[in-house]
Copies of this chain bind each other. A is one copy, B any other.
Amino acid sequence: MQFRFSDSLKNVRPSEIRELLKYASAKDFISFGGGMPNPLTFPMNDIKQIMDDVLAQYGALALQYGNTGGLNELRTEIKTLVYDTEKIKTSEQNIIVTSGSQQGLYELAKVLVNPGDTVITEEPTYVGAISAFDANKTEMHSIPIDNDGMKTDLAEAEIKKLTAEGRKPKFIYTIPTFQNPTGITMSLERRKHLIEISAQYEIPLVEDNPYGELRYSGSRLPMLSALDKDASVIYLGTFSKVMCPGLRMGYTIGPEDFINKFNLLKQALDLSSSTFSQYVAWQYLKRGIIKQQIPKSIELYRKKRDAMLKALDEHFPDTATWSRPDGGMFLWATVDSKINTTDMLKDAVQEGVAYVSGNAFSPSRIQGSSMRLNFTFSEEDQIYRGIEKLGNLIHKKVGPLQSS
């Protein structure tokens, strides 16, 4: 039978990253593609011990259906965690456990946006947010970023314009710390400006913070949620980068009426997130293992970041520029405008190395000569070899005269 499909997905782009995952585990293939944590950081022994204990002590509950909002004990631990790490004050009823923070992105768009409504994002921004917003027929207005993060003066101008047109944005989406894909951290001044804009125009802020704990240099800046005095921020957190991604555990924090809507939608989406994963995450926090784990990840990833920066200095042409992130998992390189990084990806994969092309992260598709490079997954020698291969490809494409 010929199926007829709804037009609900007509704007949604297939994910390059999902495609690249195929190669990620192939032998000798060097992947700077996916945003994958290094498996060396997975606390394997602790997780084994926790799983054994959870089955022994809570088996009948941990393998059963659970509350849609999430395990109460886990929400209490999350409350403590975000206060300890980011000085965010919240309560259990403001927290909902999600199946990865990706689910949070989809849900908040569905709860806040009618088809055709506008939202503000960064340019470039997280590819999964673009998918989630496109799947809800959101009209994204993306604001360029520089080394201090989103250009909030441009954001304000865009909001003014849209508001005057009767199309006031439904929310402002930002990844202020170690942004995906650029690795850039928003300055304190811009953070404060964003809070002001939010209050003045009455537009909720969505603060996505998957990488905040992974800082390798520089000093911590206050999160929007900690600066917020008006319950105007929705905060997205995840266990994927500080425990492991395979249990699909994230959480969303927001005003109670928002969380209640979210809960209602989640009943339709998946009833609840994995009860078992929630018990594991709960014990992971309660036993304090997260506090031992994060410094280990930082030590490992700092070296990898430094290795990639060194390799770029050596192998990328002078015409290329790239970010120098203080944390997170990615840096962002922009090469000669003659090069289309989407086209070049085929050659790169042929050479056994992958990145994600700039336009995957671009709501306006204006990042055709950029690429996102993940530095957490590969070994240091792979990082050197992979960047050298990419450098050679770029040199070849730009031609010998332009190369350094």
Q: B-contacting residues of A (Cβ < 8 Å)?
A: 1-9, 12, 14-15, 18, 21-22, 25, 34, 36-37, 39, 42, 44, 47-48, 51-52, 55-56, 59-68, 99-100, 102-103, 105-106, 110-114, 117, 128, 131-132, 134-136, 170, 198-199, 202, 204, 230-232, 240, 244-248, 255, 257-258, 261, 264-265, 267-277
User: Knowing A42-B63, A63-B247 touch, does A270 contact B99 (C-beta < 8 A)?
Assistant: yes
Q: What would 20 more interface pairs be, CB under 8 Å, given A12-B264, A102-B271, A246-B276?
A: A1-B230, A3-B204, A4-B112, A5-B112, A5-B258, A7-B114, A21-B66, A22-B67, A42-B59, A51-B52, A64-B245, A103-B269, A128-B271, A135-B268, A245-B275, A246-B275, A248-B272, A248-B274, A269-B269, A274-B277
5 interchain residue pairs of minimum CB distance: A39-B60, A246-B275, A63-B244, A63-B246, A131-B268
Assess whether A14 is in contact with B100, with CB atoms less than 8 Å apart. Answer: no
Compute how far the CA of A273 lies from the CA of B244 in the bound complex, rounded to whole angstroms.
Answer: 14
- Neighbour of A232 across the interface among B1, B128, B134, CB < 8 A: B1
Chain B residue contacts of A255, Cβ below 8 A: 1, 3
Assess whether B48 is in contact with A52, with CB atoms less than 8 Å apart. Answer: yes
Secondary structure call for the A interface:
loop
Compute how far the CA of A1 lies from the CA of B275 in the bound complex, rounded to whole angstroms.
Answer: 32
